[in-house]
């Protein structure tokens, strides 16, 4: 059963901004700086800001032609064929297996710091999961209203962080560090790969294409407006954080921005606002993740109850939302016992989406008719190759899920073939 198209221009822009910004801006800057240094981290932000428009063009073009809820999952499958449907879906799920719990841990970490109870980060993170999924049960209209408010809160909060941070800038130290700087490609790649997570919301937004009003007109407008807002916010904060880090003010950890907010007298109010924004981001991710499970259910790859929708006009996929909450809590509990550098959670998530995006680009190239479309496709493919070549052995993680999903999806055909072969 198709979902109702209730998402308009304002709600769509609010959705993509909160989906993209909340998925990285409050957790990744410190990780990128730790991995590569302040200058290289900022260069990575600049690089991504310049190449992401190509990928946006690909997603917007495919969204106009095929505005279904399956989103990037559908576009990736179109590149490889129906035989790979199960593999692509399980690959997508593998992204959320580590990526979604990591986001909830970021929110839980900030809240636990605010409460001065870091020992309860796991418990708080689980509460965030329950809260975000409960809000999603209210449906798209309420969620769109909440996101519209929080877009302005994000802009105001980032502006305040930038203003507060300028008191720590020391141009003498900055000039000294710039003079000693030497570029390293491996550090640039790692920072770029980590920061790619910060733009994942553009891909995740594709799962809402089936609920956007007048998708042929609205999807390009939503992406364009969202990109402009997000780029200004990202580069403003990235430049500021790089400068204060070069000035000797060190930020670290996935809740690193709390160290800056702690220097201001309005610390409780500002941190509370940041936590509110993180919860909104969790709401947006929950929205997209539930649509992934809904897509899998209507494709007969998950139990039928996951495709259950409310009987109201909005047809909210309540079954997928409940299923998503249960899966995320389970994996979050498992992750508690994993001892892995936080950056690897982001790298594992990014590489999975990069593979999906590569397949989507191939689909875009298959249907490109004009030379300018072919140029966009080729450049996008080169960008994907740049990212994927650096993951090496980490690529075994998504590829294993792709193979497993493909085997499960085609198990009846495989069994029939083996029986025929042996007879």
CB 146 within 8 A of CB 135: yes
Of 64-73, 87-96, 261-270, the least confident: 261-270
- Domains in the chain: how many in total? 1
Is 3 domain-assigned?
no
Q: What's the pLDDT band for 162 if we cut at 50, 70, 90?
A: confident
Q: Which domain holds residue 84?
A: 9-422
**Count, residues in the chain:** 423
Question: How many whole angstroms separate alpha carbon 372 and alpha carbon 238?
Answer: 32
Task: Give the mean model confidence (pLDDT) for residues 414-421.
Answer: 82
129 lies in some domain: yes
**pLDDT of amino acid 43:** 95
Cα–Cα distance for residue pair 198/19, rounded to 1 Å: 9
CATH number at residue 90: 1.20.1740.10
pLDDT in tens, 213-257: 777 777 778 888 888 888 888 898 889 989 998 988 877 666 667
Which DSSP string do the residues of 279-339 spell out, in sequence order? Answer: HHHHHHHHHHHHHHHHHHHHTTSS-GGGG---SSTT---HHHHHHHHHHHHHHHHHHTT--
Q: Is residue 203 part of a domain?
A: yes
| pLDDT over 70 at 369, yes or no | yes
Residue 383 has pLDDT above 70, yes or no: yes
Question: Tell me, what's the pLDDT at 201?
Answer: 72
All residues at 6 or more sequence positions from 140 whose CB lies less than 8 Å from its CB, including other chains = 6, 7, 11, 211, 287, 314, 316
Q: What percent of the chain has pLDDT over 70?
A: 86
1 domain residue, yes or no: no
Whether the CB-CB separation of 121 and 105 falls below 8 Å is answered with yes
In a domain, 183, yes or no: yes
CA-based nearest residue to 402, from 17, 84, 190: 84
Q: Which residues contact 359 (CB under 8 A, 6 or more apart)?
A: 75, 76, 77, 79, 80, 88
* Average pLDDT over the chain, rounded to an integer: 81
Structure tokens at 282: 């969790």
Calculate the alpha carbon distances from 351 to 17, 200, 212, 225, 287 in Å.
22, 11, 28, 26, 21
H or E element that contains 274: helix 267-298
The backbone torsions φ and ψ at residue 85, rounded to the nearest 5 degrees and listed phi first, read -55, -45
Angstrom distances, CA of residue 245 to CA of 51, 138, 172: 26, 42, 13
Higher model confidence: residue 402 or residue 1?
402
- Lookup: tokens for 66: 């095929």
What percent of the chain stands above pLDDT 90?
Answer: 15
Confidence of residue 49 (pLDDT cuts 50, 70, 90): very high
**C-alpha to C-alpha distance for 1 and 169, rounded to whole angstroms:** 56
The predicted pLDDT at position 421 comes to: 78
Whole-number pLDDT of residue 317: 84
Cα–Cα distance list, 47 to 22, 54, 186, 195, 231 (Å): 20, 12, 15, 10, 11
What is the structure's pLDDT at 259? 72
**The tokens of 298 are what?**
């209507």
Provide the b/e sequence for 156-182 (b: ≥16 CB within 10 Å). ebbebbbebbeeeeeeeebeebeeeee
- Is 2 within a domain? no
Average pLDDT (379-394) is 90
User: With 60 as the cut, is the pLDDT of residue 1 above it?
Assistant: no
**pLDDT higher for 47 or 179?**
47
Q: Within 13 A of 295's CA, how many CA atoms are on the CB side?
A: 27
pLDDT tier, 54 (very low <50, low <70, confident <90, very high otherwise)? very high
The answer as to whether 363 is a domain residue is yes
Average pLDDT rounded to a whole number, residues 127-145: 73
Is residue 231 assigned to a domain?
A: yes
């Amino acid at each position: 059963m198709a979902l109702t198209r209730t998402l308009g221009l304002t709600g769509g822009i609010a959705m993509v901004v909160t989906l993209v910004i909340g998925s990285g801006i409050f957790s990744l800057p410190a990780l990128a700086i730790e991995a590569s240094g302040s200058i290289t981290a900022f260069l990575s932000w600049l690089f991504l800001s310049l190449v992401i428009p190509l990928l946006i063009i690909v997603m917007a073009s495919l969204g106009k032609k095929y505005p279904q809820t399956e989103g990037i999952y559908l576009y990736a499958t179109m590149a490889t064929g129906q035989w790979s449907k199960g593999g692509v879906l399980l690959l997508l799920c593998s992204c959320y297996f580590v990526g979604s719990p990591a986001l909830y841990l970021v929110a839980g970490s900030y809240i636990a710091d605010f409460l001065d109870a870091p020992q309860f980060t796991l418990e708080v993170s689980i509460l965030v999961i329950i809260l975000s999924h409960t809000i999603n049960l209210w449906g798209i209209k309420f969620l769109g209203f909440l996101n519209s408010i929080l877009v302005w809160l994000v802009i105001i909060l980032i502006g305040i962080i930038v203003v507060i941070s300028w008191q720590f800038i020391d141009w003498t130290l900055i000039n000294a560090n710039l003079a000693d700087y030497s570029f390293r490609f491996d550090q640039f790649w790692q920072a770029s790969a980590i920061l790619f997570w910060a733009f994942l919301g553009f891909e995740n937004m594709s799962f809402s294409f089936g609920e956007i009003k007048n998708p042929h007109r609205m999807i390009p407008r939503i992406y364009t407006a969202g990109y402009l807002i997000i780029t200004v916010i990202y580069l403003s904060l990235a430049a500021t954080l790089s400068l204060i880090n070069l000035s000797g003010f060190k930020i670290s950890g996935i809740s690193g921005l709390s160290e800056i907010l702690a220097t201001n007298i309005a610390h409780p109010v500002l941190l509370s606002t940041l936590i509110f924004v993180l919860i909104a981001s969790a709401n947006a991710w929950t929205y997209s993740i539930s649509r992934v499970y809904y897509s899998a259910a209507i494709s007969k790859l998950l139990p039928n109850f996951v495709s259950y929708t409310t009987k109201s006009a909005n047809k909210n996929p309540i079954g997928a939302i409940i299923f998503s909450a249960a899966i995320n809590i389970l994996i979050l509990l498992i992750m508690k016992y994993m001892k892995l550098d936080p950056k690897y959670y982001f790298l594992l998530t990014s590489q999975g989406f990069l593979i999906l995006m590569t397949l989507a680009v191939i689909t875009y190239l298959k249907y490109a008719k004009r030379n300018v479309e072919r140029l966009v496709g080729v450049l996008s493919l080169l960008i994907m190759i740049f990212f994927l070549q650096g993951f090496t052995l980490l690529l075994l993680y998504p590829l294993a899920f792709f193979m497993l999903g493909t085997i499960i999806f085609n198990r009846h055909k495989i069994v029939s073939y083996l029986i025929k072969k042996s007879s």
